Structure 1
């Protein structure tokens, strides 16, 4: 593995992020010069550089943690400096104490690093520079505020597309997995084919986790975002659909496991099993309708959507495969509830 591999990202951040960060740093510098009469307000620029984040909510959190870290570090330095002086040993001791304080209060890495840095600078430089500590706090807070305003005002990102695509992919993969279970119930299967069926169903779990992460990122991008009003409904619909898909993933994995463990050649000719398989294909068809695939059709012909109608009923259980059939019937009942619920919300 190349050493530079850990230093480079797989993709570049958007160029707008570079522009916003540059504007925030320059604006924080100029504003500090004008208001505070500081010839070199480097701490305002540093705060602006660190606070501009991919989302407004992240900028707000970074600004708060940096500002609180500076204030805590300055207060700690003043207290220890007043009691023990400002020698080199005291400066080193303050660093250790600041790290222990951050650890004791379970502070975030941003605040945990900022407290010892601020305390060290106040003790080392503040003694020769009157008002250094207060100026540092004001500069940092000013730089953080400027960065927050710039990030909120200039094209705040809305990360809804990745969430929508992840949910749509999960919909289609759930539909395909249902059809795979239906095929396994109606055609002869080898051990390898049954193993592949179960493996395919289990692949839905990481897809579900990916969709959940994308939805969380989308929700975060809308927090404190001025454009959230016109985008929130899209995210709400994807979130509601994802909640139903999460249940479907559990059911599909369970059905695949049941078929994998209990499949027998005689189920292929059982009419009840064929009815269950038909219901699975109908559920897959209706899932694709939820995803916006309006021309989805069953292999036996294009029924009028939605394809799911009355729940399947079995009056006489199979003499030897009743456990397999009963388990599939219960899972299909719950699958049907979620699919029809998604259709009603679509």
Structure 2
């Protein structure tokens, strides 16, 4: 019963954190939709302005960290669809067969120009729209292109000028819970190693695998924050801080992947009944602490000396565990600990050679 209550509380807490992180996106989408509709209808006198708010919402919600690129892709796809649809239908007319042909042609042209999935979707949907209108019907090519331009540009203006996110606050809200979750599961793994509890280590691994989607969302949020810091005049003073965090995110990505593999090997170690020297669980736990400390140092604008020291401590404990004697899986755990410590030290700002030296990788572990 307690486990059910704890799981329910955790689910509610995680849902609240997601809403708190993404609520600004909902506000941006709503504002961009209203503004783009008003511009297309009242200023451009477009009798069918629906695509303008649709384009605005698509730009806001579908590419949180790449709004400018998303707008360019949106316009490129619409223009390709217009060119294929309008020109070909003038020759072969409208109808189901013609529509299929035009859609295939529009997407093929998008592929030839190395368009992304978004470009192909817009090219195909625009071709469908034009292909289903009879020659006597209204000309939708120009209005749709104008709506795409209005929607995309309005979305960029809202995201970067009118209602930009606070990049530091958003990174803190998104990355903090993710790092805490990851560090907590490393502590759970360390406890499982101390107690010889393979089921406990497996639960930690399952939780890390389930949290993969959250970690990807965090990467997306960091990209969005960096975009705002670079392009929004209101937040350029935070550019250096966010640049450091984006650099760190690349190395932490590798650290997370290898740490998950380390936990998986810890399960194998316990299942096989291999020896677990006391320094091994201490090393795993201290590495998790180093992740938490690194995040806090970044957001506070401090040099992450304490986080580095804790990561180096974890590497030293892993080497001592190796010296005391380990089985096959235990040796792999220590090797992966050296890798994750090195990636964490590089995330803190050290170059690769120095990070590898302090992680003890040159020692052949």
- Note whether the superposition's TM-score is higher than 0.5: yes
Per-residue CA deviation, residues 92-113 of structure 1 (Å, 9 max, x unaligned), is: 4422322443465566333212
Per-residue CA deviation, residues 245-274 of structure 1 (Å, 9 max, x unaligned), is: 32443343234223322235xx46xxxx11
Cα distance change on mapping 1:246 and 1:340 into 2, 3 Å: same
From 278, 281, 304, give the equivalent of 1:274.
Answer: 278
Q: Is the 8 A contact 2:191 2:281 kept in 1?
A: yes
Cα distance change on mapping 1:102 and 1:197 into 2, 3 Å: same
Distance in 1, Cα, partners of 2:218 & 2:327? 41
Cα distance change on mapping 1:29 and 1:184 into 2, 3 Å: closer
What is the CA-CA distance between 1:159 and the residue it aligns to?
8.5
Q: SS of the counterpart of 1:243?
A: helix
Per-residue CA deviation, residues 155-190 of structure 1 (Å, 9 max, x unaligned), is: 355485665444333332333333333333433x4x
Is the counterpart of residue 286 in structure 1 residue 290 in structure 2? yes
Unaligned runs of 5+ in 1: 1-9, 34-40, 82-89, 126-131, 295-302
- Aligned match of 2:256: 246
- Aligned match of 2:194: 186
Q: SS of the counterpart of 2:95?
A: helix
Q: SS of the counterpart of 1:263?
A: coil
What is the CA-CA distance between 1:75 and the residue it aligns to?
0.8
- Aligned match of 1:108: 120
Q: Is the 8 A contact 2:56 2:152 kept in 1?
A: yes
Per-residue CA deviation, residues 115-163 of structure 1 (Å, 9 max, x unaligned), is: 13213325242xxxxxx54xx4333333322333322223355485665
Q: Is the 8 A contact 1:286 1:305 kept in 2?
A: yes
Per-residue CA deviation, residues 217-245 of structure 1 (Å, 9 max, x unaligned), is: 55257659831745554251552353243
From 52, 63, 69, give the equivalent of 2:75.
Answer: 63
Q: SS of the counterpart of 2:211?
A: helix
From 131, 142, 153, give the equivalent of 2:157.
Answer: 153
- Aligned match of 1:195: 199
Is the counterpart of residue 52 in structure 1 residue 20 in structure 2? no
Matched length: 292
Q: Is the 8 A contact 1:68 1:111 kept in 2?
A: yes
Larger RCO, structure (CA 8 Å, separation 6 or more):
1
Distance in 2, Cα, partners of 1:315 & 1:144? 60
Cα distance change on mapping 1:230 and 1:314 into 2, 3 Å: same
- Aligned match of 1:336: 341
Report the structure, 1 or 2, having the larger helix content.
2
Within 5 Å, which residues of 2 pair with 1:28-43? 28-33=40-45, 41-43=46-48
- Aligned match of 1:20: 32
Is the counterpart of residue 306 in structure 1 residue 309 in structure 2? yes
Q: SS of the counterpart of 2:231?
A: coil
What is the CA-CA distance between 1:15 and the residue it aligns to?
4.1
Cα distance change on mapping 1:158 and 1:71 into 2, 3 Å: farther
RMSD: 3.8
- Aligned match of 2:183: 175
Structure number with larger C-alpha Rg: 1
Distance in 1, Cα, partners of 2:175 & 2:320? 32
What is the CA-CA distance between 1:76 and the residue it aligns to?
1.4
